[in-house]
Amino acid sequence: MTVAYPRKFKNSLGAREILRQVVSDREIHLITLNRYRYSEQRSCKDLTSVIEALDGRCPELLKDLSHHVSDEARHAMWLTDLLVELGAAVGKPPGISYVDKFEELLDTQAKNVEKNLDDVLISTIAAINVTEKRGCEYFSAHIYALKQAPQTPENVKIRETIERIFPEEAGHVRWGNRWLAQIADKSPSHRQQVEQAKRKYAAIEQAAFESGMDITLGAELRRVEKLLDVAKTMPLWERPQYLMEHLPQALVAPELQMSRVNIAQRAWNRDPKAFMERFVPMFLNLNTNSAKANKKPN
């Protein structure tokens, strides 16, 4: 069976490298923890929507999902307690939200739960599964980074909180794998559907993840490439509608512009000299490089 693991960002920055830098800067560290808090809290709402949509069908799954909501609520509670104790912000995190981006990229074709229960189960569980895998990858890298970092009381507290959450997230990944394997065992066509859903949601998740990190110039074009990657995992007849729905957002991307402004302001406020020396050239170089790349003959 396909095992779709999250890929590295632009095949270069791994989770461990990113987290090493995050942990070394208190402001970014606290923003990252608040992003985790936000995602955990939001997943309670999303899982509850799935429970409501199922409306009593598949009681075994409903039971599991209600336990899942309780786990995610506990994670959000632990992270909120931690952030409040550290005096950090607990509002909506700045910049592009991974969760919002993921939802925006989901295939919005309404599926009739009554007629296509298996369809709905497969896509729902595959979508949950791929985001849980990303969570595990980041939590494990975060714990690793905190073990290498100075053992301040604050860092120790943060590590202990993430160490409590991580095994439960790994349990959620195993839970999703079990359900998908059970559905795939029903028939060859179920197996095919499960494999296709895994590829599709892995591509959607990758696109959502990268758009949250990719704020450099040229990001809009790379987002279109990602949309094409997602479309390629779908049957031919579903592709045009998906692209028509999502292309305008990828190209205009107002939240991308806001993120750029937000990050530029943050960098400027912290260190104007470094901003001019490092931040500005970083954008300009990327722009020149992508212009050069675009000029290359095929």
211 burial via Cβ count (<10 Å: 0-12, 13-18, 19+): buried
Q: Is residue 169 near Fe ion by the rule CB under 5 A? A: yes
Compute how many residues bind Fe ion; rule: CB under 5 A. 6
- Taking CA atoms, 289 is separated from 282, 297, 298, in Å, by 11, 15, 16
Instruction: Answer yes or no: are the C-beta atoms of 73 and 44 closer than 8 Å.
Output: yes
Instruction: Answer yes or no: are the C-beta atoms of 208 and 196 closer than 8 Å.
Output: no
Q: Is residue 223 near Fe ion by the rule CB under 5 A? A: no
* Closer Cβ to Fe ion, 126 or 227, answer by number: 126
Interacting residue with Fe ion among 35, 75, 223, 246 (CB under 5 A): 75
Interacting residue with Fe ion among 4, 40, 120, 124 (CB under 5 A): 40
Within 8 A by CB and 6+ apart from 28, the residues are 21, 22
Stretch that binds Fe ion, among 40-48, 100-108, 109-117, 269-277 (CB under 5 A): 40-48
* Closer Cβ to Fe ion, 23 or 47, answer by number: 47
Stretch that binds Fe ion, among 22-30, 56-64, 132-140, 190-198 (CB under 5 A): 132-140
Other beta carbons within 10 Å of 207: 25
Q: Which two tokens stand for residue 10?
A: 């632009």
Instruction: Answer yes or no: are the C-beta atoms of 82 and 158 closer than 8 Å.
Output: yes
Footprint of Fe ion on 171-190 (CB under 5 A): 172
Q: Is residue 134 near Fe ion by the rule CB under 5 A? A: no
What's the rounded Cα separation, in Å, for the pair 18 and 55?
41
Q: Which two tokens stand for residue 276?
A: 């001019």
Beta-bridge mates of residue 13: 9
Min CB(21)–Fe ion separation in Å: 23
* Closer Cβ to Fe ion, 141 or 250, answer by number: 141
Min CB(249)–Fe ion separation in Å: 27
Stretch that binds Fe ion, among 8-16, 36-44, 156-164, 262-270 (CB under 5 A): 36-44
Min CB(99)–Fe ion separation in Å: 12
What are the residues binding Fe ion (CB under 5 A)?
A: 40, 72, 75, 132, 169, 172
